[in-house]
Structure 1
Amino acid sequence: MYVDENIAYNVRHDINDLNQLKYTESLFIEIEKSNSQNIVVGVVYRPPDQNIDEFNKYIDAVLCKITGQENKLLYIMGDFNINLFNDDVHKPTGEFVDVITSYSLYPSITKPTRITRKSATLIDNFFTNNYANQTSGIILTDISDHLPIFVSTNLSVYGKDTNDVVIEIRDMSVQNIDTLKDNLRKVDWANVCENHDANTSYNKFIDKFKEVFDECIPKKVVKKSRTKNRMPRAPWITYSLLKCIRRKNKLFKKQIQKPTDANVQRYKMYRNRLNSLLRRAKQNYFSSQLNKERFNMRNTWKILNSVLRCPKKTSCQKFVSNNETYTDPPKVANKFNEFLQALVPH
């Protein structure tokens, strides 16, 4: 579960401790609100082979505590691996729905979240007792065999003004740039050129230039909405590849809506070709970065850590090379350096 750093919350260990089921995973937090009800948010994963009757008892205990005893708003989400479409033909599934609805919780998702050529099941969901003023839906994308789901609500969970980011910018318009050029031409640079000390001349030049720059292109404070910030894409994803990804998503949506053999085959061929291009682009990018920083060991390690996603503090206990295992720290370091040097062409 990811929670914005500007949201005040506590982990509900008392609720988490209710989970005594083997393999079932859960996490609950409580978002603190000073002027209204606190909000409890939970995420649950139930494996397919988990006994549903035992799971229903666990969910009943959780809901009894949050909504029955504490009377708080609740959002519980996850992969329950319980197909709600079978609630009228499968007794344990029907009992699960009865438990959920008995505490005034209702599902936000009502369409299939896992679709194959032979089946369509509703096993992922958001259950909430705050079903007013919310938008929910399913995202048609192939990042997983389960379709991503979402719920958007108008509940405010941030403090004052935290929805906006305050930044300083300069108006680099053509008019301001031309004004800067004209004013720089009018500056008397004699005291800069006549000085025989290079450092003093440089400092005088920078001070004068900044003075004119600030006058012609002043800073101004603007607010930028958090909701309009887009996640940065990976550096190896070009605009052409981005267009290809959008094209693949359209083909995926089409083969979900009309799963003919032709549509499925067209999507799979395009997806496989695109995955190959993405792997090659990523490989070429990091190869280029490593080659560019081959004489800078610090930056080389930064690149390697970003690829391997290693923790900042790690230690290599052993190194295997040519079927030989090295455990002595100096030998491990030397062998690893030899391995890195062999990666970069001289």
Structure 2
Amino acid sequence: MTSSDFLTCYLCNRSIILGQTKLNCEICGKQLHLECALIFAPSDAPLAQPYFCQACLKETRSYQKFHGAFANNFKVLNELSRCRCQNIEVSDLNIISRSMSKNCFIAFHLNTGSLQKNYDELVNLLSEFATPPHLIAISETWLGVTPNSNISLNNYDFIHKPSITIAGGVGLYVSRDLFFCQIHEYDLEHPDCEDLWINLKINLNISFIIGVIYKHPRKDIIQFTSTISNVLDRLNRDKRLFILLGDWNIDLLGQSTDLATMKYIDTHLANLSLPLITKPTRVTRTSSTLIDNIFTNAINYDLSSFVILTDISDHYPQFCTVSTSIFTRRQNQIFRRDMRNFSIDLYRSDIESSILPISNCQITCDNLNILFDSFVAIIKSSIDAHAPIKPLSRHKTRLLAKPWITKGIRVSVKRKHKMYKTHFKNGTNTQYRTYKTYSNLLAVLINKAKKMYYFNRIKQVSGDIRSTWDLIGRIVNIKKERTPLTAIKTIITDNGSRVNDPLLIANYFNDYFTSIGPNLFEKIPHIEGSFLSNLKNPIKKISFS
């Protein structure tokens, strides 16, 4: 088979092999697979003939006519993006994240309904990941310009945008292993939503535009759709890969009866912005809606998406994985001495036998340094032999992050997760009340354990003012601001000339500061005579009896 036997599908960029069923756009002549073209029609209906691609349909303003019927079919979306959305329990999270490829980018989203209130619950949930998410998007942060409590996560940088209302606000935790910068060219500038955008560098060849968006409920969908359409259009014109996460407050499960929601979905599909979440994300005992979602145009990558069934807030968390195949991540491991097999008697015996040759040597000025170095080397080798330094497991690393969470509390948390499925979702009214009572008591217990931990820590460092303030800083989120150093490119001398040479600039500064002392000395008036002439009735002799 020759290269002329292959064509390229403009949607998925995969080859169209001779003999495969393909379609041609009647206007521009673009070719694509038949299965890729199914995005423009319901799976149980034939494709419209003649066929028009989405770009040409958008040009002729007839997109709604051809594609409105598709909005009801999430199965076709999954087929096109090769993505399967799954509901998972918290107990399954560790196993699933372990099975993921190491070359996998993980993006996580949660509507916290107050980040400060549910911060501890969020940390507990994230600790269940075997591989932590690289990006954590938060909607409804309820934060002011400056958070008044510690909401930092280890190995993450945090940026946020507050809301002008009581509720709302968005934030992003970005792994410090990745390079990113905040951008503003895609800001929605919509009065009924908050949004935050970054350019995230995955590796030397791949970068994503990341957006986290929160649209306030019961606001005009038509106006918001027009705004998001303009942004998606700019992203496509710039040929940028993007991932959009957030609480959109537009129920995709109810779009079959709502024309505004249908138009909103069609706007995303017209720009090849595919929703990865197809399961309900906000479930109560009387309703089930899909208002949180993750949209992306990275359909050429292997994608997976998950909804975590947990009661961290009134919204389920969601996350997606993008297989980048060349992504590498630095592992930030914590090392500790392994004291499990340490015996003080064996250690003391080993030390005594090892330093015996040194203790019998006569110490002189010539061999003092040699003998001391030998002694230090013996102590170090003995410690390493009896208590070797080993990297902590992921499980123990997670435990260090929250030392007030005891073994008993962890057992209670797992029990609560099981009760959520049996009592909250599928139980009777009596079981529901039992679950809520247990959940509230557990929350009170965790808060008391946390307060007691910090109370004891403050007592331990009460005599050390520096350690005390470091501990207070970790509690209330005080961060040391570092002013970046900038090079001085130009100076103006006393005679008005400009100097640009870095060496000359340095010499001018050196001359200025080294001449301050002599110049001040020259300005001090010279006085003749002794200082005694300025003293009135000086005491010339002092005696003690």
TM-score (norm 2): 0.49
Deviations 1:63-88 (A, max 9, x none): 10112x12222211100011001111
- Show the counterpart of 1:39: 208
- Show the counterpart of 1:293: 461
- Select which of 218, 233, 239 maps to 1:64: 233
- Show the counterpart of 1:53: 222
Deviations 1:192-221 (A, max 9, x none): 99879xxx9999567514336438847999
Distance 1:229 1:35, change over 3 A: same
Shift of 1:100: 0.7
State the distance in 2 between where 1:310 and 1:166 align: 25
State the distance in 2 between where 1:209 and 1:257 align: 63
- Select which of 381, 387, 397 maps to 1:214: 381
State the distance in 2 between where 1:258 and 1:202 align: 75
State the distance in 1 between where 2:185 and 2:478 align: 32
Q: Is the contact made by 1:112 and 1:122 (CA closer than 8 Å) also made in structure 2?
A: yes
- Show the counterpart of 2:265: 97
- Select which of 174, 178, 183 maps to 1:3: 174
- Select which of 330, 338, 359 maps to 1:163: 330
The answer to which structure, 1 or 2, has the higher relative contact order (CA under 8 A, 6+ apart) is: 2
State the distance in 1 between where 2:310 and 2:281 align: 11
- Give the SS at the match of 2:443: helix
Taking only aligned residues, the RMSD between alpha carbons, in angstroms, comes to 3.9
Matches within 5 A, 1:1-346: 1-16=172-187, 19-32=188-201, 36-67=205-236, 69-131=237-299, 132-155=301-324, 158=327, 162-165=329-332, 181-182=349-350, 184-188=352-356, 191=359, 207-211=374-378, 213-214=380-381, 217=384, 230=398, 232-312=400-480
State the distance in 2 between where 1:6 and 1:118 align: 43
Distance 1:201 1:257, change over 3 A: farther
- Greater C-alpha Rg: 2
State the distance in 2 between where 1:34 and 1:98 align: 32
- Give the SS at the match of 1:77: strand
Deviations 1:231-260 (A, max 9, x none): 744221111111111111221232354142
Using the TM superposition, name which of 1-10 and 34-43 deviates more: 34-43
Q: Is the contact made by 1:171 and 1:217 (CA closer than 8 Å) also made in structure 2?
A: no
State the distance in 2 between where 1:293 and 1:224 align: 26
State the distance in 2 between where 1:40 and 1:163 align: 22
State the distance in 2 between where 1:157 and 1:81 align: 35
State the distance in 2 between where 1:230 and 1:93 align: 42
Distance 1:75 1:256, change over 3 A: farther
Shift of 1:106: 1.6
- Give the SS at the match of 1:109: coil
TM-score (norm 1): 0.74
Q: Is the contact made by 2:193 and 2:214 (CA closer than 8 Å) also made in structure 1?
A: yes
Q: Is the contact made by 1:164 and 1:226 (CA closer than 8 Å) also made in structure 2?
A: no
Q: Is the contact made by 1:108 and 1:126 (CA closer than 8 Å) also made in structure 2?
A: yes
Q: Is the contact made by 2:281 and 2:291 (CA closer than 8 Å) also made in structure 1?
A: yes
Q: Which amino acid aligns with 2:474?
A: S
Distance 1:189 1:303, change over 3 A: same
More helix, by proportion: 1
- Give the SS at the match of 1:30: strand
Distance 1:140 1:232, change over 3 A: farther
Distance 1:237 1:176, change over 3 A: closer
Shift of 1:274: 0.7
State the distance in 1 between where 2:379 and 2:457 align: 38
Give the total of aligned pairs: 306
